[in-house]
C-alpha cells in the first residue's frame, strides 16, 4: 500500500461474526469509516454505530463464483482503502481466485505463504524443517492408512481435515476437527473426512490452548500478544468462549517468529499451540492466517491489531505501541452459554477430557463482576449489537426447548399408539411389514433378520433405509454383536427405500421420530401405518450405533429385539 489515502474507508467481510464487529469498532475509533458485508441478511456487526454502510454478498460456501465477482467489483471501488476478509470461508476462495482480481487493496498475506498455512500438512512440514515441536502426525489418504496410523499413534487420536474449507460440488463446505476413541470411530470419521480430501491424524497432546497473535512486516514480527484459553467449545477442544491475556512466553514467540520469517509473512496471524503447564513442553497446532476468534480479547487488552493492520497495509508501517495488559478476560456470551450447557450435560467422551467442577464454573461466572472482565459483543458504548446477541441467544434456547417438549409429546403419542391399540389394529390383518432406519445395515437389518425367525408363519417381513446406496453389507460390529444373540447377519445386502415398498407395507416400523417424519413428508398417505419400534414398553427411540463403542451396538440390538418381540406378540394374539 502507498501512503495515507484521503478516503480512509474500509470494507470488512464476514460481518456476521464478532471479530468483524471488533474490527469495525477499532477502526472507527481511529477515524476510519467502516462498511461491513456478509452473506447473512442481518449480520451482528451491522447493528453497530461504528458501521456506516452494510452490504450483502453471495455465500462464499454455496456460490463461490458469484462471491468472487462481488468482491472483485468492490476492489475496483476507489472509495475503499482496504477490504478485510476475516475468516477462512472468505480467505480460501479469495486465495484460489486471487489472480482474477485486483488484490492490491485486499488485506491478505502473500499467496505462497497463505497456501502453506491453509494446508495443515504443509504447515507441519514447515514446522518440522524449523525444528518446532509438533504432535506425532500421519497424513492419510485411505481407510487402511488411517487404521495403521491409529494403531501407531494410539487412542484417542485427533482427526484434522487438511484444509478447514474444502470444495463440494459447485460450492464449499466448512470442516472441523474430530476425535476417535477406538478403531471403529476412527474408520467412521476418517471415511467422512476423506470425502473432502486427505486427513491428518495426530496424537492427542495434553495441555492448555494458547495462541501467539501477531502482526508481521515481511516476516518480521512488529507486535505480539498471547492468550490462554479458559473455556473451549466443544469441551474436547475448539474455539474459546472465555480467554485471558497473559505474558508472551519467549519459547512460543521464538517458534512463531521463525515461522513468520520462513513464510515472509505480511499481515496478521495467530499461531496456535498446546502447552503442558507442568512440563513446559509445547506443540504447534496450526497457524491462522487471518484474524482469529479471540480478537476482542487482544483489543480489550490494548493490542489493537485492526488499527495496526490498517497502518501496515495503508500507511506502510506500524506505529510503536505500549505493551498490552495481562489478566484481561473476555467472554463470547453465546458460545459460553453453550459451554455451560455442555458442562451441565457432561457432554464429552469419558476419559477424553475432565469435566469442570461446580466450584470452577461458579468461579468463572463470578468473573463477570470483576473490572478486568469484558465481552466480545456486549459494550456500553455500542449497546445494540450486544442486545441483539442476547436476544438471539434467548430465541435459540426458546426454540430448542420448544423442540425438546415437542419431541416428548411426539414420543408420548407414539407410545400411546402401542397402548391404545393403533399398532394392534394395523397388525391385525397385516401381510407385509417394513422395518426402516437410516442405512439398513444395523437396526432395521437386524429387525428383519430376527423377525424372519420369530414370525415364520406370519406376515412377510422386509427392511430398507434412507441411504442412497443399496447392496451394502451389515455393519461388522453389529454382525458380531447380533451373532452372540443368535441373529445371523452374514450375506446381508442393504436396500434403499422406494415408493413401492411404502405402498405394499401394511405396517412400517421406524427407529426414530425423524424417520417417521421423513416418511410422512414423502408419503403422507402412509400416516396411519407408520409406528416407532419398541415404544410399547418405554417411550424411547432406538439410536443409531454406527461408529460408536460396542456397548452402543449392544444397547441398540437389545432395543430392536425387544421391539420385534412386541410386534410378534401382537401378531400371535390375532390367531
When pLDDT is cut at 50, 70 and 90, the band that residue 354 belongs to is: confident
d(CA 392, CA 43): 12
The pLDDT confidence band at residue 171, using thresholds 50, 70 and 90, is low
Kindly report which listed range (86-100, 348-362, 371-385, 469-483) carries the lowest average pLDDT score. Answer: 348-362
Tell me, what DSSP letter sits at residue 575?
-
pTM for this predicted structure: 0.82
Please determine, for residue 6, whether its predicted confidence score (pLDDT) is greater than 60: no
Give residue-wise pLDDT tens across range 424-453: 999 988 999 999 999 999 999 999 999 999
pLDDT grade for 4, boundaries at 50, 70 and 90: very low
Confidence of residue 27 (pLDDT cuts 50, 70, 90): very high
Q: What is the pLDDT, as a whole number, of residue 2?
A: 42
Mean pLDDT of 147-161: 90
Q: Is the pLDDT confidence value at 28 over 80? A: yes
Give the pLDDT band of residue 192 (cuts 50, 70, 90): confident
Strands 157-161 and 178-180: antiparallel
Question: What percentage of residues in the chain have a pLDDT greater than 70?
Answer: 97
Report all structural domains of the chain as residue ranges with CATH numbers, in order of start: 1-108 (3.40.50.20), 136-204 (3.30.1490.20), 408-573 (3.40.50.2300)
Strand 82-84 and strand 137-140: the pairing is unpaired
- Given a cut of 60, whether residue 212 has pLDDT beyond it is yes
224, containing H or E segment: strand 220-233
The percent of residues above 90 in pLDDT, for the chain, comes to 76
- Name the residue among 429, 516, 443 with its Cα closest to residue 478: 443
pLDDT at position 575 is 52
Residues in the chain: 575
In DSSP terms, 531 is beta-bridged to 509
What is the model's pLDDT at position 372? Answer: 95
pLDDT of 154 strictly over 80: yes
Separation of alpha carbons 456 and 453, rounded Å: 6
- Inter-residue contact 28 to 34 (CB < 8 Å): yes
DSSP reduced 3-state for 106? strand
Reported as a single tens digit per residue, the pLDDT across 469-516 is: 999 999 998 999 999 999 999 999 999 999 999 999 999 999 999 999
**Does 373 score more than 70 pLDDT?**
yes
The pLDDT value given to residue 546: 86
3-state secondary structure of 501: helix
- Give the closest residue to 203 by CA, choosing from 273, 149, 263: 149
Predicted local distance difference test score (pLDDT) of residue 5: 47
pLDDT band at 297 (very low <50, low <70, confident <90, very high): very high
Mean pLDDT of the chain: 92
Which of 439, 371, 417 minimizes the C-alpha distance to 530? 417
What is the pLDDT at residue 193?
82
DSSP assignment string, 120-183:
HHHHHHHHHHTT-----EEEESSHHHHHHHHHHH-SSEEEEESSSEEEETTEEEE---EEESSH
Q: What is the pLDDT of residue 3?
A: 42
71 C-beta neighbours (distance < 10 Å), count: 24
Residue 211 has pLDDT above 60, yes or no: yes
Q: What is the mean pLDDT of residues 82-107?
A: 94
State how far the Cα of 296 lies from the Cα of 279, in Å rounded to an integer.
30
Which helix (H) or strand (E) element contains residue 232? strand 220-233
Cell of 366: 463470578
547 falls in which pLDDT band (50, 70, 90)? confident
Express each pLDDT in 312-353 by its tens digit: 999 999 999 999 999 999 999 999 999 999 999 888 877 778
Residue pair 358/312 in contact (Cβ under 8 Å)? The answer is: no
Q: What is the CA radius of gyration of the chain?
A: 28
Amino acid at each position: 500500500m502507498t501512503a495515507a489515502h484521503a478516503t480512509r474507508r474500509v470494507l470488512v467481510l464476514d460481518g456476521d461474526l464478532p471479530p468483524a464487529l471488533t474490527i469495525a469498532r477499532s477502526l472507527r475509533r481511529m477515524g476510519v469509516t467502516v462498511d461491513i458485508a456478509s452473506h447473512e441478511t442481518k449480520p451482528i456487526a451491522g447493528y453497530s454505530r461504528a458501521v456506516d454502510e452494510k452490504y450483502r454478498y453471495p455465500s462464499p460456501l454455496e456460490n463461490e463464483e458469484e462471491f468472487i465477482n462481488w468482491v472483485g467489483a468492490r476492489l475496483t471501488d476507489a472509495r475503499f482503502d482496504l477490504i478485510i476478509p476475516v475468516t477462512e470461508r472468505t480467505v480460501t476462495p479469495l486465495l484460489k481466485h486471487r489472480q482474477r482480481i485486483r488484490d492490491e487493496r485486499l488485506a491478505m498475506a502473500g499467496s505462497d505463504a497463505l497456501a502453506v498455512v491453509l494446508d495443515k500438512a504443509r504447515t507441519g512440514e514447515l514446522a518440522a524443517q524449523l525444528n518446532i515441536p509438533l504432535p506425532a502426525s500421519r497424513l492419510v489418504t485411505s481407510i487402511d492408512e488411517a487404521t495403521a496410523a491409529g494403531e501407531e499413534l494410539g487412542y484417542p487420536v485427533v482427526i484434522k481435515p487438511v484444509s478447514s474449507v474444502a470444495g463440494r460440488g459447485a460450492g464449499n463446505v466448512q470442516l472441523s476437527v474430530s476425535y476417535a476413541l477406538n478403531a471403529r470411530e476412527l474408520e467412521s470419521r476418517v471415511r467422512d473426512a476423506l470425502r473432502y480430501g486427505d486427513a491428518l491424524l495426530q496424537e492427542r497432546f495434553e495441555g492448555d490452548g494458547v495462541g501467539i497473535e501477531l502482526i508481521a512486516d515481511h516476516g518480521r514480527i512488529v507486535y505480539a500478544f498471547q492468550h490462554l484459553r479458559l473455556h473451549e467449545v466443544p469441551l474436547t477442544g475448539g474455539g474459546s468462549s472465555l480467554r485471558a491475556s497473559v505474558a508472551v512466553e519467549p519459547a512460543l514467540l521464538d517458534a512463531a517468529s521463525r515461522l513468520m520469517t520462513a513464510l515472509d509473512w505480511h499481515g496478521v496471524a495467530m499461531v496456535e499451540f498446546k502447552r503442558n503447564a507442568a512440563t513446559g513442553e509445547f506443540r504447534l497446532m496450526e497457524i491462522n492466517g487471518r484474524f482469529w476468534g479471540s480478537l476482542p480479547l487482544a483489543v480489550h487488552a490494548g493490542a489493537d491489531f485492526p488499527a495496526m493492520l490498517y497502518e501496515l497495509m495503508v500507511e506502510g508501517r506500524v506505529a510503536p505501541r505500549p505493551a498490552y495488559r495481562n489478566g484481561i478476560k473476555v467472554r463470547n456470551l453465546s458460545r459460553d452459554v453453550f459451554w455451560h450447557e455442555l458442562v451441565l450435560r457432561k457432554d464429552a467422551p469419558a476419559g477424553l477430557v475432565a469435566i469442570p467442577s461446580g466450584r470452577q464454573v461458579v468461579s468463572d461466572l463470578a468473573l463477570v463482576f470483576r473490572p478486568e472482565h469484558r465481552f466480545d459483543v456486549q459494550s456500553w458504548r455500542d449497546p445494540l449489537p450486544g442486545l441483539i446477541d442476547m436476544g438471539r441467544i434467548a430465541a435459540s434456547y426458546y426454540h430448542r426447548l420448544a423442540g425438546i417438549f415437542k419431541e416428548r409429546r411426539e414420543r408420548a403419542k407414539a407410545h400411546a399408539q402401542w397402548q391404545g391399540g393403533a399398532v394392534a389394529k394395523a397388525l391385525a390383518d397385516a401381510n407385509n411389514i417394513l422395518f426402516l432406519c437410516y442405512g439398513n445395515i444395523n437396526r432395521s437389518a437386524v429387525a428383519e433378520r430376527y423377525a424372519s425367525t420369530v414370525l415364520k408363519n406370519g406376515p412377510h417381513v422386509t427392511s430398507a433405509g434412507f441411504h442412497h446406496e443399496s447392496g451394502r453389507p451389515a455393519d461388522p460390529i453389529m454382525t458380531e454383536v447380533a451373532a452372540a444373540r443368535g441373529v445371523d447377519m452374514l450375506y446381508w445386502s442393504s436396500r434403499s427405500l422406494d415408493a413401492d415398498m411404502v405402498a405394499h407395507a401394511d405396517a412400517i416400523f421406524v427407529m426414530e421420530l425423524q424417520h417417521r417424519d421423513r416418511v410422512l413428508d414423502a408419503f403422507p398417505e402412509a400416516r396411519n401405518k407408520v409406528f416407532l419400534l419398541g415404544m410399547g414398553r418405554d417411550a424411547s427411540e432406538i439410536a443409531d450405533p454406527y461408529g460408536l463403542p460396542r456397548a452402543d451396538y449392544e444397547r441398540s440390538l437389545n432395543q430392536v429385539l425387544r421391539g420385534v418381540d412386541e410386534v410378534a406378540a401382537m401378531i400371535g394374539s390375532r390367531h
